[in-house]
Structure formats: C-alpha cells, structure tokens
Structure 1
Amino acid sequence: MDVRGGGAVGYRSAEAVARAAGELIGGDGGSVPEYEALLDAVVRLAGRDRGALAAALQPVVEQWPGPYQPQAAAARRLLAVVRSAAGPVEPGPAEASRWLETCQHEAVDLVLAARAGEVCSLLRRGAVVPMLLATSDSADGTLDPRELVMRLTEYEQAGARPGPADLGQALLRCGGGPADPDVVSAAEELELPEGPRVAAWLRAGGLPQPELTVEREPGEPEPPSRRRRARVGRRILVGTGELPGRGDFPRPFWSLFRRFEPLIGCNHLLLRSRERHAAAALPWHPEIVASRLLTQVAATADQNGAGDGSPDFLPALARSSGPAGPAVHLAVAYGLGARPDAARAAAVEALAGLAARGRLDGALLGAHLARLVLLGTLKLPVVTASLREAAEAPGGAAAVWPVAAAALPELLAPPAAGGPVRPHVPLLALAADCAAACGARGTVPGVDALAARPGSAPSTREARRLHTTLAAPA
C-alpha cells in the first residue's frame, strides 16, 4: 500500500483495507500516515460500496470479540471505526460527541477520541462524505492549507457538511504562519457555512502559541522509600495560558484552550495517551502536547518505569513543526533518565531529531537535567549513559556538548548545605570527549577550579583534559 496519496487511493480493494486494518489494530495503530490513510479509506469506501467493505472487515471484528480491546490507544480507536463500518446502518441524526472532562491531562486524548467517535457515528448512520478533511500524509501530522481548501471544495460540490471534530482537527493541523493570500481567497469563496471561519483561521496563521510557565512541585524532595512506585525527587512541570477561540470548536476540544495548571492534582489514570498520534494532533504546538503529558513521561523516570503509553511519543514530539520550548525539552530530559531501556532509547532518538532539525536548545536541556538530578528526580549515571549513547551517533558529539556544558556548572557548584563537590567522572569524561570531537572552545564554570586541584584523582584528570581542550587555540 502506498499511503502517500492518503485515503483509498493507496488501497485497491476492500480486502486490502481489511488486511491493513488487521495489521494496524493488531499492532500499535501504525504510523501517523498509515493510521490517517486507513481512517480515510474506510470512510471513502463506505460511501462507494458499504456492503463489500463490511464483509471484508467482518473477520477483523471477529478477532476482537466482545469487550476485548487492543492495548494501544490508536489501535483501539481504529477498532471502534472498523466495528462501526462492519455493523448495520442505522439512519438517524448525528450523535453528539460524548464529553466528560475528568482530568486536565486528557486534553489531547479527548481530541483524538472525538474525531474517531465522529467517524464511528458517520459510519453507523450510513452518511456519505467525500473524504476526511484532517487526513495527513506527513509523519508530523501537518496539513497543507491549500489541501484543506481543496477538500472543502469537494465537500461543497458533493453537498456534504464537514464533521465538527474532523474540521477542528484539520484546522489544528494548519499553522506555521498565515496561509498564502490565494488560499485564503479560495476559502472565502466557499459557499459552505464553515468558509468564513476557515478563511479567518488560515489568514491568522492558525492557533496562537500559549504563554508558558515552568513550575516546580512544592516542598523538599522526599526521603528514599522502598514503597512500590514511590517518588523520591520533585518534578518540574510546565503550564500553559488560556487560548482564544474555543467556542468555535466542539466541546471535547475546549480543554486544549483552557489554562493548564500543572500543579493541580487529579485522580487520573495513565490512559496510554502518550503516543505518537498525540503529537500529530497539534503538530504546530508541541509545547501544549508535552505539557499535558509531561507527568506520564516523568513517571518513566521516577516511578520505577511506570506509566502506560508508547515511547514513540518522544521522537514524534521532536518531529513536530512547532517551536520546541521548556515542555519539550523537559520531556526529553525525563526520557533520558527513564528506567525502561525503550524509553531511554526513544529520548536519545528525540534528542538527535531535535538537533538534526536545528531545534535543540542544548543549554535549556542541560539546565533541566542538572535541576532534576539535584532534586533527586533523575539519576545522573542513567542520564550520562543516555547522553553517551547520543554522542556516539554520527554528529552526536556536537549535539551533546552544549547539553553537558550547561549541566556541569550546576552539578559542580558547592552544595547549598556545604561540603565538598563530588563531580561525576563519567559526565566529565563525556564532556571532554564531546568537546574534543566538535572542536569546542571557551570555558565552563567550575571546570577550571576542579582542574587546578592538586593530585591525580579521576575527576581532576578529566577536568584537566576538558580544560586543555577548551583552552586550545581555535
């Protein structure tokens, strides 16, 4: 199947759709293009030959009888859509989106669920639309505004109305600045009632970026405990300010627009919403996504590796097209200190992805890592091992050097309670290796004093090696 064209274009038959559905539902829901193409193909083919599609999908439904559900959230959404497409048609009015905001961390999951639920309702009612508006063939979930206007034109020609959740998701995927004037003009010429709203959205450049606040959990770090899943350190989290325009979106979207206060507790469950499709829901706003799911990422580091969801979330977050700020870098920091191997590997991949796109703020990431280590939330040996793995990749030393250089000053500073500095030799060695590999020059606070110590302790030797490299002629 070729998913680049999206929708049914890449599927030659209903049987091909069924095979893809079985594979994606039996796995993790697939990549963003695969997931999106399958949703779109089911909707398109249901409008052309519902009987053939239902017959082809029936064996897939039978693999998941009754209450049985896949583990991955994306796979569960696909299964719900497939069950609706394989079931009987029950004509009736459009169903209102079910909405119960029980937890402010579920905002992105509510958006994904609302769109899938809307597709299920459309299929159960036997309604026919040309395609899904929000379908993206990009790995990061972005949607070209020109493509959206073309799809809306097809809706207009077919006499169809956009689903509120599908249109809302499509608009969230259009951003990065004002659209071309000719695209905005084409949207203004639409006779659909949604035309003026779409034109205004594209003219404004999409959803504005929220104000961000970095907040530390109050209180002192807890003493070590042997209790299962007990946390020792304190977390650093990110809040987002309120955004305008929520009234134009379906109610399940409203939580995204509300002010997010990360220190407000809730009795939420970790609902496996840490997935690559969460990042693709708001590809121009990774800070919103990261801030809402930061507690789940942190759980992989400070709760014995607990926390449902896919480690692929971090690389997907790094692929996002929007600005990467404190929430994204904190997510990577927690991932670098995670206990599960897969979570650390994903964080290393995310670090490399940010660096390759010129979006890595090494100083910010290093500062986050140092603070979390000093709070006892992350273990420095684990973090250093992850950074070493990142540095060994092609071009990795240049990416890791500013991270290590920013972390060292805080870690080498005398403790507030007094006492000697206890430098971490592997981190100093990593910094020296990276500095030599990328030709770094300059100074790092704390390194000169450590290098000037008498004796030949391992930390002193590594500090001298780093000092010598940084002081060498350019």
Structure 2
Amino acid sequence: MVGEGVPAGLATVACSADELIRGDGGSVTAYEELLDAVVRRAGRDRAGLAGALRPVADRWSGVHRPRAYAAQRLLAVVRAAVRPVDAEPQTGQDDGRGWLETCQHEAVHLVMGERIAEVCGWLRAGVTMPMLLATPSRADGAVDARDLVMRLTEYEQAGARPGPADLGQALLRCGGGPADADVLRAAAELTLPEGERVTAWLRQGGLPQPEWTVEQEPGPPQPPSRRRGARVGRRILVGTGGLPGRGDFPRTFWPLFRRFEPLIGCRHLLLGHRERHAAAVLPWHPEIVAARMLAEVAATADQDGESGPEFLPALAAGDGPPGPAVHLALAYGLGARPDADREAAVAALAALAARDRLDGALLGGELARLVLLGTLRLPAVTESLRTAAGTAGGAAAVWPVLAAALPGLLAAAGAGTPPRPLPPLLALAADCARDCGARGTVAGVEELAGRPGSSQSVREARRLRNTLAGT
C-alpha cells in the first residue's frame, strides 16, 4: 500500500512496513532492518519518508491496532515519522524520573519499549541519526563488536551522539567473550564520550552470566478445576541473581540487572510478551530472558495461555548458554495445550540438539517433576517427544530425555501414584533406544519388566530392557 510517484527506495521501506505491521512484526532481521531504514531515511529525506509511510499509518488511523506487540511498536515508529516535527519536541529520553517498575516480569519488554520510544522521540523532534547502533549482525539479534565500533566511528564522523537506549541495547547484544585486539584498539581510539565505556564493555566480553536458582511453588498439586483458566499443579520456576553495571544504562533497563525472584507475584495474569524479539534483546543470555518469560510459557500448559509459538525457537537459536530456565521453558512447551506451541517446542528441541546444546538429562528430569506435580499432562508430553523422535537424528536426541524421565515416573507409578498411562512412553523409549543403538540400564525398567503378566506396561518394559541389553 504505497502512494504513486514514491521513489523506489522509499517504496521498499513503505511496503516492508505495511507487510510487517499487518503481520506479527516479522523476523528479527526484517524488524530491525525496517527500524534502521526509517532512521536512515529520516535523515536524508524526511518529507519523502513521511509521504511514503502515510498510507501505512492511515490504514491504522481508527481504533483498530495490530495484535502483535512487535507490530504495534513498528506502527508507533511509522506514525512518528509521518507526523510533522514538533515545534517543542520531547525526545522521549529522560533520566527516568516518574518511571516506576511495576512488575519483575516486564524487564525485557521495557528494554524494547524504551528503544522504540527513543526512535520515536528522534522522529518527532526532527533529530537525524546516521543509523541504529543495535541493528543485529546475525539473525538471533547478536551484534558483532567490530560492527558496533565501525558504527560508532561513523557517529563520530557525523558529529552525532548515540541514544542511550540504542547504545544500551547494542551493548547487551555484544557478548561471547572479549573482543579481539584490533577491535579493542579501534574502540580505544574513539573520541566520543561513550568510547571509554564501550571499550571497557567489549574488553570484559559483555554482560556476565547470572547465577540462578530453581524454585518450586510451595504446596501440593491443585486438583483440576472446571473454571476457565484455572491452574492445576505446581510450577517450577527459575530465579536469577543481580548483575553489576546497571548505572550506565537507562533506568528502564535496570530491572534486567536486578535479582529476579520468580515466586513474587505481580499484577499480570498473562503478559503476552513472549515473542521472538524478546529473545533477541539478550541473545547471549537466554537464561535471563527465559526466566522472565517462564510463567507465560507455563501458562500454555497449565492454563488457557495465549499462544506465542515463535518464542521457543528464537530462544534456542541464540549463542548464549542454555541452562535450567531454557530447559524448563522447553518442558512447558512440550506439554502445552495449543498445538502450535508444542510444535514450536519440538522445533526448539531439535535446534538445541543439532548444535549439541540440549541437556537431555536436565530436560527429562524436569519433565518428570512437572508431570508428577500435576502441571504437565503425560500424554501431551509423550506425543511431543514422539514427534521430535521422528525427525532426522531425533531418536538420539530424545533418548537421553526419556532415560532421565522414566525412573521418577516409574517409581511413582509403582507406588500407586499417577501419572497414567505409561505404556506409550515406554513404547517410545524402546523405539528410540532401538533406533539410536542405546545400551545400559534405566532404573525401574528391570523391575517392571520382571513382573508377571502381559500388561502393555510390562510388555513395553521388557522390550526396552532387551533393547538396552542388545538382545
């Protein structure tokens, strides 16, 4: 939806904006490239940009707005680009006075919102910037240290100062270890006031990884309820320790650095903030993102949680180390009620396994705990794992998960405690062990296989025992 006579370059920007806002905001790459293109074009031809984007803004001029948060953020930028420059501009950048953190879970969303507010402030004020510093170098959102220093050099040459939110996001996207010597030398040569801070950040390798704690909600499993949205079971969540250095970032970034206590309640039931762009805020720190979003992911399994299927694959795509929060998010996804979320969890499992980043023992142990707590339904988990096992190399990835989950589940079943049914899970385990050539023993399998009778559980346990024994 582009007006006639619009130059080709601006027409491309407008078409991209229209497509992404109509959809879900697009991929991380498409979303970020559009933001960067609007900022660059605003500095070259603000009037032309406004004319090209006006039909896009007009489409959403009524009470309707995009459903996806990413699309809403892009629409805010488009509207700011279309409006005339303010006679008395407010840049949207302040010292944080008047801002109040209301929920621990909002931290990642606040970073995204602050950066968009900063861009909108530039556009409203008519401030021209060479580019966005935080535009990712890779599809997962990561920014290469060399790219950041080169962009800052262009800022220096243009006489521009980085926006606090854009620079803050760029730094959070740099990581993976200290930058190489050439990059550090180039950073040290920057004359921008921010140069010393950037150099120190790149030298230390970015934001350190936080300490974490795994915490279970207190109390026994709750019985099923007929009330819509009512929860069952008890969740297992992850807390993260505090991190240093928040004072150099905008105040709206500070919640990311604070200690996160997952059992503290908040004013939200379901935030709806799970999206691929959340994972891209901290591509080197998936544990921080996963911990903050874990309650939302869990809600897809034990409540009528809204679907956000792009989140888990995006979380698995980052280069940061996956830990308990990522694996718990995967566990909840494998037991989710919406089909799309279970499919996304299967894709995330496959992605982690393909990069040798899946801890099957950790995932299997948490799956068993959540099933026994009544939080996950075993049939849904079994079906998801069967789907994962059917992919290329899937049996080898799923077998360690099953080997870790079975002992606890078998022990509970032997004590007369749900869950039921176990036969499909035992059958899947036998199939996976056969297909990947697994050998050894699994606690509880020998005992079940040795019982008299020919029930399905006993038959499948015998098949699994014999497969593991190579007979």
Normalised by the length of structure 1, the TM-score is: 0.95
2:22 corresponds in structure 1 to 26
SS of the counterpart of 2:432?
Answer: helix
Map of 2:92 onto structure 1 = 95
Counterpart of 1:44 in structure 2 is 40
Aligned with 2:320: secondary structure?
Answer: coil
Query: Where does residue 160 of structure 1 map in the other structure?
Result: 160
Q: Residue 15 in 1 paired to residue 11 in 2?
A: yes
Cα distance, 1:200 vs structure 2: 0.2
Instruction: Note closer, same or farther for the CA distance 1:79–1:285 as it changes in structure 2 (3 Å cut).
Output: same
Give distance in 1, aligned partners of 2:23 and 2:452: 58
User: Does the residue aligned with 2:408 lie in a helix, a strand or coil?
Assistant: helix
Q: Return 362-371 or 62-71, whichever deviates more.
A: 62-71
Structure-2 residue corresponding to 1:5: none
Q: Against the structure 1 CA distance between its residues 416 and 444, is the aligned structure 2 distance closer, same or farther, given a 3 Å change threshold?
A: closer
Give the SS at the match of 1:413.
Answer: helix
Corresponding position of 2:459: 461
Deviation at 1:421, TM superposition (A): 9.0
Letter in 2 for 1:217: E
| Contact 2:335–2:381 (CA under 8 A) maintained in structure 1 | yes
Task: Give the deviation of 1:266 after TM superposition.
Answer: 1.0
Q: Report the alpha carbon displacement of residue 93 of structure 1 after superposing the two structures with TM.
A: 5.7
Match of 2:431 among 422, 430, 433: 433
2:289 — aligned with what?
289
Give, as a single letter, the amino acid of the residue that structure 2 aligns with 1:244: P
Aligned to 1:452: 450
- Tell me if the contact between 1:102 and 1:268 (Cα under 8 Å) persists in the aligned partners: no
Shift in Å at residue 19 of structure 1? 0.6
Query: How many residues in Structure 1 have an aligned counterpart in Structure 2?
Result: 461
CA contact (8 A) 1:72 1:272 kept: no
Q: What corresponds to 1:325 in structure 2?
A: 323
Kindly provide the amino acid, as one letter, of the partner of residue 224 in structure 2.
Answer: P
Deviations, residues 117-148 of structure 1 (Å, cap 9, x unaligned): 10000011111111000001422101100000
Between the aligned partners of 2:419 and 2:232, the Cα distance in structure 1 is 22
Q: For residues 218 and 273 of structure 1, what CA distance do their matches in structure 2 show?
A: 26
1:401 counterpart residue number: 399
> One-letter code of the match for 2:403?
A
Aligned residues: CA RMSD: 1.6
Counterpart-to-counterpart distance in 1, 2:317 and 2:360:
17
Partner of 2:126: 126
* 1:376/1:109 CA distance change after superposition, 3 Å: same
> Given residue 160 of structure 2, which amino acid in structure 1 is its aligned partner?
A
Identity %: 72
Once the two structures are superposed, what CA deviation does each residue of 1:27-58 show, in whole Å capped at 9, x if it has no partner? Answer: 00000000000000000001000111100000
Q: Which amino acid aligns with 2:30?
A: E
Secondary structure of residue in 2 paired with 1:213: strand
For the pair 1:233 / 2:233, whether they are aligned, the reply is: yes
State the AA in 2 paired with 1:334.
Y
Q: Deviation per CA, 1:268-320, whole angstroms, max 9, x where unpaired?
A: 2533210000000000000000000000000000003x23x621000000001
Shift of the 459–269 alpha-carbon distance from structure 1 to 2, 3 Å rule, reads closer
What is aligned with 1:339? 337
Partner of 1:367: 365
Question: 1:214 is paired with a residue of what secondary structure?
Answer: strand
Q: Deviations over 1:171-216 (max 9, x none)?
A: 0000010110111111111000000000000000000000000000
1:116 aligns with 2:116: yes
Q: Secondary structure at the match of 1:183?
A: helix
Q: Which runs of 5+ in 1 are unaligned?
A: 1-10
Q: Per-residue displacement from partner, 1:312-368 (whole Å, max 9, x unpaired)?
A: 000000001101000000001000000000011011101001101111000000001
Unaligned 5+ segments in structure 2 are 1-6
User: What whole-Å deviation, never above 9, does each CA across 1:223-280 have from its counterpart, x for those lacking one?
Assistant: 2211111111000000000000000000110000000000001112533210000000
Separation of aligned partners in 1, 2:72 and 2:281: 17
Aligned to 1:65: 61
By how many angstroms is 1:423 displaced?
6.0
AA partner of residue 77 (structure 1): R
Write the letter of the residue equivalent to 1:228.
R
Cα drift, residue 455 of structure 1: 1.6
Looking at structure 2, the residues matched to 93 and 395 of structure 1 have their Cα atoms a distance apart, in angstroms, of 55
Q: What is aligned with 2:3?
A: none
Q: One-letter code of the match for 2:364?
A: G
> Given the alignment of the two structures, is residue 217 of structure 1 paired with residue 217 of structure 2, yes or no?
yes
Equivalent-residue separation in structure 2 for 1:100 and 1:25 (angstroms): 29
